[in-house]
Structure 1
Amino acid sequence: MSALINIGYLVASVLFILGLKGLTHPRTAVRGNLLGAVGMLLAIVLTLTDQQIVSYEMIILGLIIGGAIGAALAIKIEMTSMPELVAVFNGFGGIASVLVAGAALLENTLTAEIPLMQLTIAIAASGLIGAVTFWGSLVAFGKLNGLISENAVLFSGQQIINAVLAATALALSWWVVIDPASGVAYWLVVGVASILGILLVIPVGGADMPVVVALLNSYSGLAAAATGFVLSNNVLIITGSLVGASGLILTQIMCKAMNRSLTNVLFGVMAPVGDGGPTADEVYGGKVKSTSPEEVALLFETARRVSIIPGYGMAV
């Protein structure tokens, strides 16, 4: 049975890779999305069956409920609101990693087993990255949805505080590694990382938030990969690595397109538009061509094929 489960995980991983490849072109995007969905369905069913968590009846019920929620979101959410939905999904992935890692640590504590060092490292990484992702995603969602001010929140000594919090989180993570029996250390990591996640995102203005959402997507993938090591789940490791790498590449592409620095995004020091850097006239000088309604009408009249690109840009 174990061999069949591993073969199934391998098939699911291949479907994820093919799905990601399909998403690279508009003509194959729908097929790629479908392949990814089938791969996720296969991975979930295999995991539940392997761990004997629920019966087949419960699996089918869960698929129906989850499918209904997904269909409702797909119909209701506008394309211009997609970054908000992605931010929420990133947050869900982050908090799931935190809870799974915490449960694994608690299980070892209750059974009085001393976990291997690689397991405790994965648990600490899941808690740290997952907490940063969850709270950072909540702030991003709030700014995109207008629940909180989209203006950048800046204050004196902000980067010093972030550095201290990051160092504290790493020190506490080491405590988790050397003393896994202490559950307090893990939840201290989660608490400090939560504050860090908030402070990393609040300096970013609403216009630059799509870049941060892409970065948080990468973080959620890294958290999932770390959770895969916690659970010894190969498909989770592969999937998380794919999401982490692709999210970071997307962040770099968006930074270049929006004239931003990837380093500044990583460390939450993105300056508001207009604070240093080239102006709009400097960026677009010599690249913008003026026209008139008559000229546009003439172009449409003589064109064989016209492609109209929606104007909501990199956010979608």
Structure 2
Amino acid sequence: MNIDQQTYDALLRFQRNEITESIVYTKLAAVEKNPANRDVLLRISADEKGHYAVLKKYTGQDVAPFKWKILKYYLLARILGITFAIKLMEGSEEESRDGYAAYKDYPELLQIAKDEDEHEEKLIALINEERLEYMGSVVLGLNDALVEFTGALAGFTLALSDSKLIALTGSITGIAAALSMASSEYLSTKSEGGDGKRPVKASIYTGIAYIFTVIALVAPFIFISNVLVALGVMLVSALLIIALFNYYYSVARSESFRKRFTEMAVLSFSVAALSFLIGYALKVFTGIEA
């Protein structure tokens, strides 16, 4: 076919993306437990392979897939859940659709653009994963731990002035708070009823999220003897936890990362600053030195 070099290069890129995404969807189907969802993923994979064949008629050659992209989405699905991987794939489907739509002189490419649009709708429809059903419980544990514990550790820093003592006190406080939050979530979920969530699972998600946050925030005081340096590292750790969780949440739930990150960061650091001042005031007024 008589195709200019720029169009030819674009078609080769599209072709490589199609075979890559076909393999990715096949691999995602292999880890999907829901039979209906698995069938949808396999059908989309077959469609992508069909698109590859259409593009090959224009380019006249086979191309290799992006191996790093296949590995990336597979690992994301295994570690963070298939929903997270699929949500990222949605962005790729949108880019493909817009790219194909630009070639109005090629009817087959416009049909592929339409297929990509349908793929996005199917992907959105099949998203139903247990870990997202319990996301509210994870948010509760994580948010409560960040807000309360950054504040508590900041207060302990000036009130106690000993990193090992702060770590010990913080660990005891954190474990007790995690158990309390898990119990509260169990009772809350049980009293609500009818939302499909199991009280025991909800409490476990809340407790685990709280415990992991406590471990991450206490760790600097275990390994760093200078309490102010440990406090600084703890606050950076808190910021990283907030950023990573909200990135995951914003992708999985299609919500604004910036808004959620800002809200949680401002709240956590405001409580930490206030608790730091309260710890300092108590130390000055009581005259108690740890």
How high is the TM-score relative to the length of structure 2?
0.31
How high is the TM-score relative to the length of structure 1?
0.29
More helix by share: 2
- Structure showing greater radius of gyration is 2
